[in-house]
Chain A
Amino acid sequence: MPSQAQKYISVSSEITFFSSAPVEDISAINNEAKSAYDKATGEIVFMVPINKFVFPKSLMQEHFNEKYLHSEEFPSATFRGIISDHEDDSGLAWADGELEIHGVKQHIRVSGDFSSFEQSASLNCKFNVMLADYDIKIPSILFKNIAEEIEITVHIAYELFEN
């Protein structure tokens, strides 16, 4: 089927988040995220295991999972969307869809660089997430350490998916 031949799946990924607050800057990297893209329909999906974010300090990682993101209850963040307004297989693209973090779904529209070729594709984008939109509460005792808005950076390399 031609539609089958136009699905791409991630072969490597790097998702980072960055929080800048008066007391300290906190960043974490996740290389375990997965993504798939269907060229025929423009659909794009992401699945990000929350407990695979690696922090410079192990206690931060523990608190991130247990106190803020509750990763035992909500193990993954997902995005389901459609790439629209794609400029000629290369360059600027917009994705519309639902981002689910911490069990809360929000509609977002994100721009990024998206290129797709016959055998591969790649995606680079950067966007901001407000913690309050996803019901992520920071205990008041720590509020100076963590920003209310987090910057997310996404780099994905895809290859054509073959059954």
Chain B
Amino acid sequence: MSCLKISILLSLFLFVVTPSTAQEDLMNLLTDQDEEVEIVPSSFKGTKIINGHSTKTKNKGELDFLIYHRFGPINSGIQEFFGLDQANIRLGLEYGIIDVLDVGIGRSSFEKTYDGYIKWKFMRQKKGASNFPLSMVWLTSMAIGTNQTAAEISTVERIGYTYELLLSRKFTDRFTFQLMPGMVHLNAVPETVDDNDIYYLGGAFRFKLSPSIALTGEYYYRFNPLVSVQTYDSFGMGIDIETGGHVFQLHITNSRPTFEKGFITDTRDNFWDGDIRFGFNISRTFHMGSHN
């Protein structure tokens, strides 16, 4: 009885399968082509991770309006409403000249600083016929403080340059890791014992919790920080939220400035002492014409 059932099922199964294998053959006509090279997309959603840049560049013709905001330290007490009374803001624009080349400008309340940068993604992570494990970006940025309180400093002395190599790898659909070796050159330093060239190595990650929400973190280790003033390595943890044309990044960090020269050489707060600031980055993307 059961044997009969099985043989009926089996013959039904064979009957169903046979015509579909013929179609597999027809489908094979379509798949016998060469494997294509595929660029691994979206290692990061924001052009910044927290304070530092990510290997993300805007597509050609995309213009981002950027608002970076850092409050005061949480441990400043109820009198300062746990830091929310204080505001440090940077307003900026970033534009994709081509898919792999961005320029950006910004103005920060921190030391009334103007900054500008160029980001060039010279290698993109690829898979398929041609494989490349990393995305590689070169960043050159320049920042100039215009605060009038220290009038004896000349304009040239207020300038700092940053040269950074960004290496990122999207290991899985969810996890991206990034390393950022770099150097900040300060035209002037507080004391002669301080180095003008400050070398650093940053590390950052992004871990996707859902299609639109990700956990992020970054840390910048300095090899030769300023010695005449007490400064600390910049650290931050955050959450990225992506909707249509916006990326919202909410985070906690010990850095007040959001440009390289500032947060790498001049972070005055120690995260581990509780000098933690709440902050957010908001970006809005505008399309300047079609991307084709």
Interface residues of chain A, those whose CB is within 8 Å of chain B, are 7, 9, 34-38, 41, 43-45, 47, 51, 54, 56-59, 62-63, 65-67, 72-73, 78, 80, 139, 141-142, 145, 161
In the complex, residue of chain B having the shortest beta-carbon distance to the beta carbon of A137: B211
In the complex, residue of chain B having the shortest beta-carbon distance to the beta carbon of A65: B41
Smallest CB separation, A139 vs chain B (Å)? 7
Are A139 and B27 touching (Cβ within 8 A)? no
Are B30 and A41 touching (Cβ within 8 A)? no
A7 — which chain B residues lie within 8 A by C-beta? 26, 29
Which of chain B's residues 161-183 have a Cβ closer than 8 Å to chain A?
173
Residue in B26, B41, B60, B211 whose CB lies within 8 Å of A36: B26
Smallest CB separation, A129 vs chain B (Å)? 20
Are B30 and A47 touching (Cβ within 8 A)? yes
Are A43 and B22 touching (Cβ within 8 A)? yes
Give the docked Cα–Cα distance between A134 and B287 (Å): 30
Are A78 and B41 touching (Cβ within 8 A)? no
Interface residues of chain B, those whose CB is within 8 Å of chain A, are 20, 22-23, 26-27, 29-31, 33, 38, 41-42, 59-62, 173, 211-212, 243-245, 285, 287, 290-292
Residue in B22, B23, B287 whose CB lies within 8 Å of A59: B287
Give the docked Cα–Cα distance between A51 and B128 (Å): 14
A145 — which chain B residues lie within 8 A by C-beta? 244
Residue in A38, A41, A58 whose CB lies within 8 Å of B59: A58
Given contact pairs A66-B42, A67-B212, A35 touches B30 in the complex (Cβ within 8 A): yes
Residue in A56, A58, A72, A80 whose CB lies within 8 Å of B23: A80
Give the docked Cα–Cα distance between A37 and B244 (Å): 40
8 A–B contacts from the bound complex (CB under 8 Å): A9-B29, A36-B30, A43-B26, A45-B23, A57-B287, A58-B59, A59-B285, A145-B244
Are B41 and A38 touching (Cβ within 8 A)? no
Smallest CB separation, A69 vs chain B (Å)? 11
Are A141 and B244 touching (Cβ within 8 A)? yes
Instruction: Tell me if B's interface is mostly helix, strand, loop or mixed.
Output: loop
In the complex, residue of chain A having the shortest beta-carbon distance to the beta carbon of B173: A72
B290 — which chain A residues lie within 8 A by C-beta? 56-57
Give the docked Cα–Cα distance between A37 and B25 (Å): 11
Give the docked Cα–Cα distance between A7 and B22 (Å): 12
Give the docked Cα–Cα distance between A145 and B42 (Å): 22
Given contact pairs A36-B27, A36-B29, A36-B30, A67 touches B22 in the complex (Cβ within 8 A): no
Give the docked Cα–Cα distance between A63 and B23 (Å): 32
In the complex, residue of chain B having the shortest beta-carbon distance to the beta carbon of A47: B30
A78 — which chain B residues lie within 8 A by C-beta? 27
Residue in B31, B60, B291, B292 whose CB lies within 8 Å of A47: B31
Are A66 and B30 touching (Cβ within 8 A)? no
In the complex, residue of chain A having the shortest beta-carbon distance to the beta carbon of B99: A58
Are B291 and A45 touching (Cβ within 8 A)? no
A47 — which chain B residues lie within 8 A by C-beta? 27, 30-31
A66 — which chain B residues lie within 8 A by C-beta? 41-42, 211
Smallest CB separation, B96 vs chain A (Å)? 9
Residue in B42, B62, B244, B292 whose CB lies within 8 Å of A142: B244
Are B23 and A43 touching (Cβ within 8 A)? yes
Are A141 and B245 touching (Cβ within 8 A)? no
Are B291 and A58 touching (Cβ within 8 A)? yes
A38 — which chain B residues lie within 8 A by C-beta? 26
Are B211 and A67 touching (Cβ within 8 A)? yes
In the complex, residue of chain A having the shortest beta-carbon distance to the beta carbon of B58: A58
In the complex, residue of chain B having the shortest beta-carbon distance to the beta carbon of A49: B36
Smallest CB separation, B162 vs chain A (Å)? 28
B211 — which chain A residues lie within 8 A by C-beta? 66-67
Smallest CB separation, A49 vs chain B (Å)? 9
Residue of A44, A65, A66 most packed against chain B (CB within 10 A): A66
